[in-house]
Chain A
Amino acid sequence: MKAVILTAVILGLGACSNDNNNDGTGDNTSGTVDMTSYRIELINLTNNQPFSPPAAMLHDGGFSAWEIGKPASEAIEVLAESGGTSKLISLQQGNPMFTGRGEILAGQTLSFEIGSSDPDVSHLTLATMLVNTNDAFTGLTNIDLKGMTSGDKRVFLTPAYDAGTEFNDELAAHVPGPAAGGEGFNAARDDVTAVVTHHAGVVSKDDGLADSALSQAERFDNPVLLVKITRL
């Protein structure tokens, strides 16, 4: 076990990405020795909303990836409309990161580790798109993990957010997930409310929105994601 960690650390120092525990779940960038590390488990609680490959990062307390009532950043717009994480990750370049390799299907759990050697880099942000929607996403931002000691666990149930960057027309042409196969990111902002809010859920063709690409199976209520954080 120790050997595996050392390998990961060495690769991290080389500023490379690596799959820390070689389990194919995703890529970490690590800091140096004396890391404060966390195991993060993400459980998709929806019936049929696959989550795009998530991005997670540790940072200092001066960063929030989104805020209710404020317009979404371009990074969140891209994430919420297409699942793309590169812009979000670039906002915290050089800090510990995790990016998933595959979707988290409904009912599935993704587990990964992330850690930092800088005691000020103790805040967690993670985000993922509900892909059978126009621009719904979920996650946590700027969660202070300082004060957790080895073995401590915290559990969060997170709501679906609406990025406010794309009108929720539910059209096949505009929903990128497998239920529709439409367009992902589009720089045009055409939502009636142009700030981040909670998401109201999808209507679906089974509830009277005749041209919706979605069925009752894609409907959801909050919370949509369960996050378990264990300080290692």
Chain B
Amino acid sequence: MKKLVTTTMLAFLASTAVEAQELDISITNLTHGSHFTPLLVAAHGATTQLFEPGKAASANLQAMAEGGDISDLSSDVDAAGADKVANPAEGLLAPGASTSFSLSTQEGNDYLSLVAMVLPTNDGFVGMNSLPIPTAAGSYTYQVNAWDAGTEANDEIVNGNGAPGMAGIPADPLGKNGTGATGVATADDNQNIHIHRGVIGDTDPDGGPSDLDSRIHRWLNPVASVTITVK
């Protein structure tokens, strides 16, 4: 067993791609009551990162995490020479739903990242950060976690506001949110990108601390499954 692990690790370390690749990618929303806003999926070089755990979010990542807007982040990855697929699900990806697409990568774009806002949250997002893309033909599955951008208080108030820097949650696509909440939390203690602690919700549709429903809108990591097929 120990030998096997070592061999696997060596193979993994030796697998950094240099040549162009054709990838089939499938992304599944594993949550029970949260949608993903349009996904941004990018293959890029070693020096590009869409986000970095333990560091402050960029303004363009913030726009994605607070309102689902990937337009500026998409321009960033273009400027970095990345190969990308933007919005493969052509809109929201519902709980349990999958989206499948192909991605052609250029030489040197050996790392895969993806992001999308988790809705309804204040600034939660599903994020895979710089996965070394395998090179040997085969199918590889990865589990992906939900992150907190650290840029907005998790007040759990659904008020239609998705603009960066503005408090509140844009919407609940399930239509199961309440109204009139007083707010769960003020600014994050950790204002760097960190693992989302989850939403808390309540069961009062007309008030209480949260506009989210504790029976519907919670999740546990991982929140997404990503399968990459290398041809």
- Residue positions of A touching B, CB distance < 8 A: 43-48, 61, 106-109, 144, 146-149, 152, 154, 157, 201, 204, 206-207, 216-217, 219-224, 226
Given A106-B194, A206-B184, A226-B53; A48-B189 close (CB under 8 Å) = yes
User: Contacts of A148 on B, CB cut-off 8 Å?
Assistant: 9, 13
Flag if A108 contacts B221 (CB, 8 Å). no
Q: How far is the CB of B179 from chain A (nearest CB, A)?
A: 20
B209 at the interface (CB under 8 A from A): yes
A48: nearest chain-B partner, CB-CB = B189
A61: nearest chain-B partner, CB-CB = B2
Flag if B200 contacts A207 (CB, 8 Å). yes
Residue among A45, A46, A152, A201 with most chain B CB within 10 A: A45
| Interface range for B | 20 to 34
User: Contacts of A106 on B, CB cut-off 8 Å?
Assistant: 189-190, 194
Flag if B145 contacts A223 (CB, 8 Å). yes
- Residue positions of B touching A, CB distance < 8 A: 2, 5-6, 9-10, 13, 53-54, 145-146, 148, 150, 154, 184-185, 188-192, 194-198, 200, 209, 214, 220-221
Roughly how many angstroms separate A147 CA and B9 CA in the complex, as a whole number? 8
Flag if A223 contacts B221 (CB, 8 Å). yes
Flag if B197 contacts A220 (CB, 8 Å). yes
Flag if A46 contacts B53 (CB, 8 Å). no
Given A146-B6, A207-B200, A216-B200; A222-B190 close (CB under 8 Å) = no
Flag if A216 contacts B53 (CB, 8 Å). no
User: Contacts of B10 on A, CB cut-off 8 Å?
Assistant: 147
Given A217-B185, A222-B221; A43-B197 close (CB under 8 Å) = no
Flag if A222 contacts B54 (CB, 8 Å). no
Q: How far is the CB of A147 from chain B (nearest CB, A)?
A: 5
A-B contacts, 30 of them at CB < 8 A, read A43-B54, A44-B190, A45-B53, A45-B54, A45-B194, A46-B195, A47-B148, A47-B197, A48-B190, A61-B2, A106-B194, A107-B191, A107-B192, A107-B194, A109-B54, A144-B2, A144-B5, A148-B13, A149-B13, A152-B13, A204-B200, A207-B200, A207-B214, A216-B200, A219-B197, A220-B197, A221-B197, A222-B145, A223-B145, A226-B54
Roughly how many angstroms separate A216 CA and B198 CA in the complex, as a whole number? 9
What 7 A-B pairs have minimum CB-CB distances, sorted nearest first?
A107-B192, A43-B54, A106-B190, A107-B190, A48-B189, A45-B195, A219-B197
B54: nearest chain-A partner, CB-CB = A43
Flag if A46 contacts B54 (CB, 8 Å). no
Roughly how many angstroms separate A147 CA and B195 CA in the complex, as a whole number? 30
Partner of A220, one of B146, B185, B195: B195
User: Contacts of B200 on A, CB cut-off 8 Å?
Assistant: 204, 206-207, 216, 219
Given A107-B54, A109-B54, A206-B184; A221-B196 close (CB under 8 Å) = yes
User: Contacts of B220 on A, CB cut-off 8 Å?
Assistant: 221-222
Flag if B195 contacts A144 (CB, 8 Å). no
User: Contacts of A43 on B, CB cut-off 8 Å?
Assistant: 53-54
Roughly how many angstroms separate A46 CA and B196 CA in the complex, as a whole number? 8
B146: nearest chain-A partner, CB-CB = A221
A157: nearest chain-B partner, CB-CB = B145
Roughly how many angstroms separate A207 CA and B208 CA in the complex, as a whole number? 12
Q: How far is the CB of B57 from chain A (nearest CB, A)?
A: 12
User: Contacts of B194 on A, CB cut-off 8 Å?
Assistant: 44-47, 106-107
B56: nearest chain-A partner, CB-CB = A107
Flag if B195 contacts A221 (CB, 8 Å). yes
